[in-house]
A and B are shown apart, each in its own frame.
Chain A
Amino acid sequence: MTAQLNPDNALMSPDGDLVVCTDASRTFGSGPSAVVAVQGTTAKVSPGARIAIAGPSGSGKSTLLHLMAGLEVPTRGQVTWPSFSTDAADRAQDIGVVFQSPSLVPALDVAENTGLPLILAGVGEQECRDRVAEALELVGVSDLAAKLPEELSGGQAQRVAVARVLALRPRLVLADEPTGQLDHATGQHLIDVLMATTTQIGAALVVTTHDRTVLERLDTHWWMHEGQLRTATTQGASA
């Protein structure tokens, strides 16, 4: 049975939905060796939503996140972004993605990496500098601005990746286990920053996580099992 998130349970907003997955599936490979990562998922993310996607390893959390980011194309069903541009490059200005492993450009320093999405969005030079400084300050890596990614630890690199998303001030932040490589305290701080900043800019936040403490801080929980979205709960309610 395919569990579906009841749209009525999601946070509603007069601005309309940010992402809508309709019976979306993603299968890798074909024939007997095919792996169904996400199966028949119907869900949506509304503005300002705080969603945690949880589930065991290999349950399809990251793939679902990638489908919502538009980085994966569903093999069945569809994913739409009613509030965003249909052009993938333009849409990238509204959706910030934090990957499981650091995804910095090796040949650019921390400040340049952080400013990349702003440059692509056409933000002016001065504003770009200010927003980069602010974002680095927020995640506590201002002193690393001139460092190259290879000179950072895994945790530092991940914080820079988060700063890069925050500097963009997107309307939707999708974070794939952003605290996986961080110690507990740093992880908590990062989640604090993500929560505070997304609230400040009015962005929705979707985080995949194994970490119960992260889970508890988010309003809505989606539970994934074997590629299927089984249950969705909002604090104080369950579906």
Chain B
Amino acid sequence: MTITWLGGLLRRRTGRLLATAVGISLAVALIAALGTFLTTSKATMTARAVRSVAVDWQVQVQPGANPTAVRDAVTRTSGVTATESVSTTQTTGLSATAGGTTQTTGPGLVLGLTPTYRHTFPGEIRQLSGSPTGVLLAQQTAANLHVRPGDRVSIGRAGAAPAVVTVAGVVDLPQADSLFQKVGAPPQSQPSAPPDNVILLPQATFNTVMGNRSSAATPAPTTQIHVARGAPLSNDPAAAYESVTGAAHNLEAHLAGQAVVGNNLGAALQGARSDAIYAQMLFLFLGLPGAILAALLTAALASAGADRRRAEQALLRTRGLAPRKVARLAVVEALLVGTTGGILGLGIGAAAGRLAFGPSPAGSSLSTSLVWAAIAFIAGLAIATLTVLVPALRDLRGRTVADARHAVGRSRTPLWMKGGVDFILIAGALLVFWASSANNYSLVLAPEGVATISVSYWAFLGPALLWLGAAMLLWRIANLALHHGRRPLARFIRPLTGRLAPSGAASMSRQRRPLARATVLLALAISFAASTATFNATYQQQAEADAQLSNGADVTVTEPPGLRVPPAAAAGMQTVAGVRHVEPIQHRFAYVGADLQDLYGVRPASITSATALQNAYFAGGTAKTLMARLKAQPDAILVSDETVKDFQLAPGDLLNLRLQDSRTKKLQTVPFHYAGIVKEFPTAPKDSFFVANADYITKATGSNAVGAFLVDTGGTNQNAVAANLQQQLGAAATITNVTQARSQVGSSLTSVNLAGLTRLELVFAVLLAASAGGIVLAVGLAERRRSLAILSVLGARRRQLRGLALSEGLLITIGGLIGGGLIAWGLSQMLVKVLTGVFDPPPSVIAIPWGYLTVTVLAVVGALGTAAMVSARASTRPAVEELRDL
């Protein structure tokens, strides 16, 4: 019996079974592919976090302990591959005489490095000019002292005469924050700013110059053991963080108070583990709705054949088949579509994953792939059970044979509609959204030094309830419109159906349940596609903004310290092929009180020709208004939030800065007026800085020297333009481009390449939207072939039959597009707000991917149109043939 039934199903219901299996396969494929994304993104985050660290551990030898013994102990520790000793002491100040004037700095740090240090830790020191060996001066110190390689610098020593050394090179210390960290500081303490003045000496020179304590006033040098680890780490940042932190604690326990471990690797993984949770969030936010949608699509497809199934069940029961046996047939059908959909979905998922993340995605192994395949396959079987088996069993238990013959029925208002569940859900969504705005949408809390991460999963409720509530509201509206709007509906479809319009409208009105369901499904699919695409576009926009912010522009030419390049040099760069605009930016140092900060001099009228300034970078005005203020009022200045608080500034306040006069080489007071807050600015550091009018700075200091040139290439050919500029300008200038910055930006989620996920999501979203419209309409119309055949017998023309099919398609398309557009708009706003933590910097405007949306709409319209036309064509078969086949 079962085999016969199965054979009959396969022969006679091929289309519906296949459509249901395709729906299941989409859900399975999406889950499997997103699983690959999750695994890959976590592995990428771990790898990037590890790569971003120059020195894994800085083991601070405690006073009284033997540095050699500590180093031996560290070297013997499991997982440690290399160690280097670094000596540090303080200087009372550095001074140098250049160009007839003497510059003196405040206190600074002197480091003693072994000859092999730079080979062991290549990422710690970046050579800017001069020789890589010998005495090296940090870039800012060299700028303060106005020295170049070959100049002599005097190192102040407490209780002893200054020691004079010759500078061999100028270097940048990219990891200064961690290099000069206060090892052993409590986890919640504020990070200390790196010192302004740093000189690096070969260990032997250090021992000679700074090693001998001539008096009690001379501070004793301290020793750090810098450690490189090679122990394999888990792909999961949280697991990697736990293992590295555990190992560091183990070493501290082993050293029994002789040293404290500064865990740079742990700190980097600390950031990555919260990003991993955000990746998980993205999986849930972007992946789960897709899987639910695919399940709903499957349910709609399965329910399109429900009337026939009920009739068949009723027939089997009247022929004496026991309900248990009828149930067994339903199990067989569910297993058939579940297994077929599962296998098909795993195939599609594997292909999509390969397409999106490459043939061997980072972090994926056979075991993780198998786990995700199993999860996806089980999800497919669950969907088949819920959409095919459960309704069949419910019908079997709760319906009489006579009930089962009913196909249309008098629609009763569902309980949820009577209870206003849709309104309650939308109100709930807004409430949750409002509540989560109270903590600035902080979904992930990963306290420093604490192994556990708290995730505010309830914030998911906002978008989830909105999606659900809006869908139900759309159902209510569609239902009401179809129920009570028969006359306008008839007028609407008259151009397509002619005289049949009133009958068509009446039929649609009575068939409002499947029509409303198809409309809602399409709206959900479109909203999923549009909100996902909008989120992705906004994410890409912000990732690009982050990269631009870090690099400054498409290409940035940074002039070496001490070299005076005038703004006119931009004209030469302008001739390089691919360059659209060159914008000079001044870079100075300015004292506000005793605090030294970077000062950027910009041309307010033209800066945005080379780089994008987002409103999120500023407070107290938009990017446009603040630049206009700098232009209109040359002594206006933008300062950091921290400076405003530290110096109690109010808009319009006078702010006296001390700047070096290029003519006298002395610091002189220059008055500015506080005009607004700048949080971020192209090429500027993360900490405090100023932005002011370049002309005013030139006038006040007597120098128009440029610190960097921002080069706009129109967003293309950055590598080529950078190479051409390097060729033109020689090795002295440092030229970076935005493509390098993209791969280097922080440890936030922007470090994860979402391009794969984006491609995956967008393709699935279009497929779902097209399927939701096309397949549902086609299956629905196929179930109404009998009605169309009867109409044909009664004298309906092909044009009219085609019109009826097209009317349904048109109605679903219009309802779905409008409903989906509105839901997508609300959902995008909410998603971008709730997932604020994902964006760096936070977006001031949402990016709308018009191109993708157009493709989605075209795909949906195309799918619905094709479905309607194919159905209409099928209805023009000889009517008796059609009636006989059903």
Contacts and interface: CB of A to CB of B under 8 A. Distances in A.
Task: Check if A and B associate.
Answer: yes
Interface of A: 66, 69, 71-73, 89-93, 97, 99, 103-109, 112, 116-117, 119-122, 148, 150, 164
A71 B794 contact: no
Given A105-B787, A107-B506, A150-B405, A120 B794 contact: yes
B408 A106 contact: yes
Contacts of B879: 71
B793 A116 contact: no
A182 B511 CA distance: 30
Interface of B: 405-410, 499-500, 502-503, 506-507, 510-511, 784, 786-787, 790-791, 793-797, 800, 878-880, 883
Nearest to B797: A89
Contact of A71 (B409, B510, B793): B793
- Is the contact region of chain B dominated by helix, strand, or loop, or is it mixed? helix
A150 B795 contact: no
A106 B513 CA distance: 14
Contacts of A99: 883
B787 A117 contact: no
Contact of A107 (B502, B787, B796, B880): B787
B793 A103 contact: yes
A92 B793 contact: yes
B791 A89 contact: no
A121 B790 contact: no
Contacts of B795: 89-93, 117, 120-121
Contacts of A73: 878
Nearest to B787: A105
Given A117-B795, A120-B499, A104 B880 contact: no
B407 A150 contact: yes
B407 A105 contact: no
Contacts of B405: 150
A117 B792 CA distance: 10
Interface centre among B784, B786, B787, B880, by most chain A C-beta atoms within 10 angstroms, is B880
A72 B880 CA distance: 7
Contacts of A148: 408-410, 510
A161 to B, nearest CB: 10
B500 A119 contact: yes
Nearest to B406: A150
Nearest to A150: B406
A97 B791 CA distance: 12
A101 to B, nearest CB: 9
Nearest to A121: B795
A74 B791 CA distance: 22
A106 B787 contact: yes
A70 B584 CA distance: 85
Given A106-B786, A148-B410, 12 more contacts: A66-B880, A72-B880, A92-B793, A99-B883, A107-B511, A107-B787, A116-B503, A117-B795, A119-B499, A119-B502, A150-B407, A150-B408
Contact of A108 (B407, B507, B797): B507
Given A72-B878, A150-B407, A150-B409, A105 B511 contact: no
B412 to A, nearest CB: 14
Contacts of B883: 99, 103
A130 B800 CA distance: 25
A117 B790 CA distance: 10
A78 to B, nearest CB: 16
Given A103-B883, A108-B507, A120 B787 contact: no
18 contacts: A71-B793, A71-B879, A72-B878, A93-B795, A105-B787, A106-B786, A107-B507, A107-B510, A107-B784, A107-B787, A108-B507, A109-B506, A116-B503, A116-B794, A117-B794, A119-B500, A148-B408, A150-B406
A112 B503 contact: yes
A97 B506 contact: no
A70 to B, nearest CB: 9
B790 A120 contact: no
Contacts of A90: 795
B418 to A, nearest CB: 23
A116 B406 contact: no
CB-CB nearest 8 A-B residue pairs: A92-B795, A107-B507, A71-B880, A107-B510, A120-B795, A89-B797, A150-B406, A117-B794
Contact of B506 (A93, A108, A122, A150): A108
Given A107-B511, A119-B502, A119-B503, A92 B406 contact: no
Contacts of B406: 150
A121 B506 CA distance: 18
Contacts of A164: 794
A112 B842 CA distance: 60
B796 A89 contact: yes
A15 B69 CA distance: 125
A164 B795 CA distance: 13
Contacts of B787: 105-107
A71 B878 contact: yes
B793 A105 contact: no
Given A107-B510, A108-B510, A150-B407, A116 B791 contact: yes
A120 B500 CA distance: 7
Contacts of A69: 793
A150 B503 CA distance: 17
A96 to B, nearest CB: 9
A72 B407 CA distance: 28
Given A107-B787, A108-B507, A150-B409, A122 B794 contact: no
Given A106-B408, A107-B511, A108-B507, A120 B796 contact: yes
